[in-house]
Amino acid sequence: MAKSIDVSDLDIYYGDFLAVEGVTITIPARSVTALIGPSGCGKSTFLRSLNRMHEAIPGAHVDGKIVVDGQSLYDPSVDPVEVRRMIGMVFQRPNPFPTMSIYDNVLAGLRLNNKKLKKAAADDVVEKSLKGANLWNEVKDRLGKPGMGLSGGQQQRLCIARAIAVEPQVLLMDEPCSALDPISTSAIEDLIHELKTEYTIVIVTHNMQQAARVSEDTAFFNIAGAGKPGKLIEMNPTKKIFSVPDEQATEAYISGRFG
């Protein structure tokens, strides 16, 4: 079941450097929340903090809380691997495992979690996940072929299939269409609309039109200058953000006066 995410007084550090400061936000379940803002404002850093991916960088840590279903994700008793299973990630550039078939790419996350499946169960997971990523009809007759042999848009949908195969509750997407052509981008956006009925989705995008098309809520991040931490300026329903935002900085960014 998809979960909402409650973030309170979150500061994100890389070593001694404060990258993102003081974020308090609630991300609703079964909806799409877009994160927008200029480069360097911390939106991707914030996104990665939601499933502790930023901890892959030595010295990275947080103060504050991220709570999902009453559980603080940064409690010492919580296993980061379990967090990443519950909160999946789709990256900016499609990244199928190059030596794996389409079939094995879908199952890679489950196998990394040491989940052993009989052939019939594995077949069911592959079919269900590829159908969920709206890719099944395009690849069902070549599941043994390399995932890298697909087009860019198909590769990204394969990565989404790999993410949902482990049955997460939340999907994080870090500019998932920035490397794709308009037709592939449209296919991914259609898929996001379908997936939000089952998942809580958070997407980072520099494309204002995309944020307006796919999201119910939008959060605007900004940065005061070089060396300063990124901050959440406002979060509101997307229609309000793009028509009558509360903050002048939001209006200036959306209108193209900076960023």
The pTM assigned to this predicted structure is: 0.91
Q: Has residue 66 been placed in a domain?
A: yes
- Residues sharing a CB contact under 8 Å with residue 234, sequence separation 6 or more, in sequence order: 219, 220, 241, 245, 246, 247, 250
For residue 200, give the CATH number of its domain. 3.40.50.300
Give the pLDDT confidence of 39-61 residue by residue, as tens digits.
Answer: 999 999 999 999 999 998 999 99
Give the per-residue pLDDT at 116: 81
Give the pLDDT confidence of 195-211 residue by residue, as tens digits.
Answer: 999 999 999 999 999 99
Q: Has residue 219 been placed in a domain?
A: yes
Q: How far apart are CA 99 and CA 96, in angstroms?
A: 9
Q: Has residue 259 been placed in a domain?
A: no
pLDDT tops 70 at residue 1: no
Choose the weakest-confidence range: 111-115, 141-145, 169-173: 111-115
Length of the chain: 259
Exposure string over 84-123, b if 16+ CB within 10 A, otherwise e: bbbbbbbbeebbbeeebbbbbbbbbbbeeeeeeeeeeebe
Identity of residue 41 = C
Choice between 230 and 1, residue whose per-residue pLDDT is larger: 230
| Full residue range of the structural domain in which residue 211 is found | 5-254
Q: Has residue 44 been placed in a domain?
A: yes
Q: Has residue 174 been placed in a domain?
A: yes
What's phi and psi for 35, nearest 5 deg?
-110, 120
Give the per-residue pLDDT at 188: 92
pLDDT-based confidence at residue 69 (cuts at 50, 70, 90) = confident
pLDDT over 90 for what percent of the chain? Answer: 85
Give the per-residue pLDDT at 229: 96
pLDDT-based confidence at residue 113 (cuts at 50, 70, 90) = confident
Q: How far apart are CA 249 and CA 259, in angstroms?
A: 10
Q: Has residue 109 been placed in a domain?
A: yes
The number of distinct structural domains making up the chain is 1
Q: Has residue 152 been placed in a domain?
A: yes
The β-bridge partners of 63 are 11
Q: Are 162 and 106 in contact (CB under 8 A)?
A: yes
Choice between 226 and 31, residue whose per-residue pLDDT is larger: 31
